[in-house]
Amino acid sequence: MASVDLAALDEQELADWLLDRRWFGSKARDVASIHVLDVVALNPSAPTPPALSAALVEARYPGGTHDVYQLLLGVGSNGGDDSVIGDVRGVTVYDAFADPRACELLGGLLREGAEVHGEHARVEFHWLEGVEPPRPGAEVRPMGAEQSNTSIVFDDELVLKAFRRVEAGDNPELEMLRFLSERGFAHIAELGGWYQYEGELMDATFGVVQRFVPNARDGWELALDELADDPERFVTRLRDLGGVIGRMHTVLASDPTDPAFAPEEPSDESLALLTATIDEEIERLFLELPEIDAVAPIAGHAAEVRDRLQLLSHVGARGRLIRTHGDLHLGQTMLATTGGWCWTSRASPLGRCSSAAASARRCATSRACCARSPTPPRPARCSAVGRPRRVGRSAPASPSWRATSRPSTPP
C-alpha cells in the first residue's frame, strides 16, 4: 500500500474521536490540544490492507499538564464506522483494535518477537518460552467495553490488554506479572508476552498478553449473588481468597535483591501517613453507606473500626513496607471453574511503591493487611472502598453471618 503520513491527521477530527472514547480518562477537564507525537509503521511493506501503525498521541490541558495515549492506527477499509478517526488525503484512518485482521497481525508480531524501527523510535514485541503464542489465523474478538484499556482475546486461549494511556517506564502491571510468573505464583493468569515503545520521547509499555481464563466468575458479581443467597458459603470463599492474597504478598516480599520489590524499613512519617489515609477511607466509607436494610448491621460502627486501626498503629513490631497489588478489590479477582481464585488481567496499573511515602499513599489498604494483620487480609473490606455501590440485590446480613465474618482473635 502507498505510504500515508499519519502525523497529518486533522487534529480536530482526532480530538472529536478521542474525547468520545470510554477509555479517554480526562473527560472532566478542558483539553487545550490533541496531536500526534510519533508514528511507527508496524508492517510498512504490507501489500494488502490493513497497513498498521503504532502512534503516540498527546492530550494537553490548559494548566500545562498532559497525558499520552497509545493508538493502533489502520489505513484502508475497516469493520465499523465507530472506529473511523478521520482521513488523510482521502484515505481512511481508523482504530485498528476494532479490526480482527489488524489484531491478528499484532498477534503475529508477538509470535515472531519482532522489532520494528521508525524514524525516532522502535516497537519491540516479546514472547516468553513455555507459553504457546497466538497461532496464525487465530479467532480474534474484543473482550468488551472497558474503562481504561482495550483487551483482545485470541482463540479463547490468550488475552492481549493494550494500555491506552501510557506513562514512561515499565508499566507496573507488567513488572508485577513478570515478577510473580518468574517465581511460580499460581494464582495469576500466566504472562505470555508484551510489547513496548522505546524512543526519543519516552520508553513505555504498550500492552501485555496473559493466558485467558474461560468461564470464570467475576469476584464482585459473585459477592453480590452469594451474599444474597448463601452468605456463609461466601465467607468461606473469602477465607480462601485471604489466604491467596497473603501468599501473593509473601512472594512479593521475597526478593531483597530486586530494587523494584525489595522490602523497605518503614519510617515514622510513612506509618503516620498510612494510618491517616486508612482512617480517612474508613470515615468516608461509613458516611457514604446507603440507608438500606442490607447494610444496617454495620451502620454506625465506624468508631469501632477506627479504634481497631489505632490499636494496630501502636503495635511494637512494625513490619516492612513491600510492593503490593495497588488496585486490590474483588473486581480484580476471578473464581475459576476449578474453584481456585486468581487475579484478572483487567487490573488497572498496579501500585508502584518505590519509596516509603509513595507506598503509604498508593498502597494504604494492602500494606495495612500485610504489615499489621495477624489474620488473613480481608478483601471484602478493601473492595468496599473502591467499587461502585450497587444496592437492592443483597438481603440483610443475618446476625450469624456477622459473627462468622468477624476475626476469631482481636487484632
Is the pLDDT confidence value at 267 over 90? no
Q: Are 159 and 134 in contact (CB under 8 A)?
A: no
Q: What is the percent of the chain with per-residue pLDDT over 90, rounded to a whole number?
A: 45
**Are the beta carbons of 265 and 320 closer than 8 angstroms?**
yes
Which are the contacts of 149, defined by CB distance < 8 A and separation ≥ 6? Answer: 23, 161, 162, 163, 164, 346
Cell triple for 276: 491517616
Residue (of 214, 172, 208) closest to 191 by Cα position: 208
Give the tens place of pLDDT for each residue, 83-115. 899 888 888 899 999 999 999 999 999 999 999
How do residues 156-173 score in pLDDT, each as one tens digit?
999 999 999 999 999 999
Output the pTM of the full model.
0.75
Using pLDDT thresholds of 50, 70 and 90, give the confidence band for residue 26: low
Alpha-carbon span 74 to 49, nearest angstrom: 8
The percentage of the chain sitting over the pLDDT mark of 70, rounded to a whole number, equals 78
- The β-bridge relationship of strands 91-95 and 66-75 is antiparallel
Q: Which of 34 and 63 is assigned the larger pLDDT?
A: 34
Angle ∠(147,218,279) on CA atoms, nearest 5: 75
Kindly report the average pLDDT of the chain as a whole number. 79
What pLDDT is attached to residue 361? Answer: 29
pLDDT score of 164: 94
pLDDT in tens, 225-245: 999 999 999 999 999 999 999
Find all residues with CB under 8 Å of 131, minimum gap 6, and list them.
190, 191, 192, 193, 211
Angle at 215 between CA 211 and CA 217, to 5 degrees: 100
